[in-house]
Every structure is written in C-alpha cells, then in structure tokens.
Amino acid sequence: MTASSPAAAEQELHLDRIGQVAIVVQDTARAVRFYRDVLGMRLLFEAPPSLAFFDCGGVRLMLTPHEGRGDAAPSSILYYRVNDLDAAHATLLARGVRVERAPHLVAALPDHDLRMAFLRDSEGNVLGLMSEVPRGRSA
C-alpha cells in the first residue's frame, strides 16, 4: 500500500456535501423548543451539557453555545426550502415567530420566480425561507 502524495490528495478532494451545520445559541433549551416545536424539526439527540442535534433533510443541525471569549460572531443564514412560501410565513406568524422580512420576489428567472422571507429564531439568528415557483403557478 502506497501513500498518496499531497498533490494527488489535493486533486482528489471535492467538498460537495454538508454533513453538519452549527448554530450558536444563548439558551440551548429555549432554542430546542423553537426548532422542535415552532419549526417542526426532528430532534435527533441532546448531548450534555448543552448541545442539541436535529435532522434537517439529511444534514445534521447542531445547536451549541458560544465557547469563545467575547460576543458570539453572527451566524451564516440557513435557507429552508418550502413549497408554499406564503403559507409557511402565515403558519410561522401564527406561532409567534418574529419576521424580519415578509415574502418577496428576489429574482424573476427564465423558468421560475425565486421568492424569500426572513425570520429570527429564539436566539436572534436570521433564518431564510425560500421558494422557487415555476412560471404559471402562484405561491
């Protein structure tokens, strides 16, 4: 068995699948309730003292407290695909979610419209909802 050279290994590496995304939270228990009860995500497991893991369409979502010094850095925005953006927005409004920006057209593409809405989770992180609506169909 021969070891690959660094150059060969570099050429073979293709990062193309996300296995886990971490979201920094201030209160893990509160965030678990939000992601499980408000967004309806499936809780996989909790790991003491303060980690929680959810299934997000085959990608694991980890809620974790900030472990560094100072304030936590802003998180990346996760965009959740939904079939009916207006219905998803109305459901989340009814559940008391704080909306950052109501559903709106982002781009009119040749075969579909890209629409988005933005909200905040229980920890103040921005989440996006996105819907790609084929031409001739509303949503």
Give the list of residues 6+ apart from residue 92 with CB closer than 8 angstroms, or none. Answer: 38, 39, 99, 119, 129
Q: What is the pLDDT of residues 110-138, one digit of tens each?
A: 899 999 999 999 989 999 999 999 987 65
Scanning the structure block, which residue is given the tokens 């009860």? 37
The pLDDT, as a whole number, for residue 62 is 94
Q: Is the pLDDT of residue 98 over 90?
A: yes
Task: Give yes or no: residues 81 and 130 share one domain.
Answer: yes
Task: Give yes or no: residues 52 and 100 share one domain.
Answer: no
Q: Is the pLDDT of residue 76 over 90?
A: no
pLDDT band for 12, please (50, 70, 90 cuts): confident
Please report, rounded to a whole number, the percentage of residues in the chain having pLDDT higher than 90.
60
Task: Give yes or no: residues 81 and 134 share one domain.
Answer: yes
Task: Give yes or no: residues 98 and 120 share one domain.
Answer: yes
pLDDT band for 109, please (50, 70, 90 cuts): confident
Q: Is residue 7 part of a domain?
A: no
Cβ atoms of 64 and 25 within 8 Å: the answer is yes
Cβ atoms of 105 and 115 within 8 Å: the answer is yes
Provide the number of structural domains found in the chain: 2
Residue 41: which domain range? 19-66
Q: Is the pLDDT of residue 48 over 90?
A: no
Which has the closest alpha carbon to 130: 113, 119, 120, 117?
117
pLDDT band for 105, please (50, 70, 90 cuts): very high
Task: Give yes or no: residues 137 and 99 share one domain.
Answer: yes
Q: Give the domain-ending residue among 5, 40, 66.
A: 66
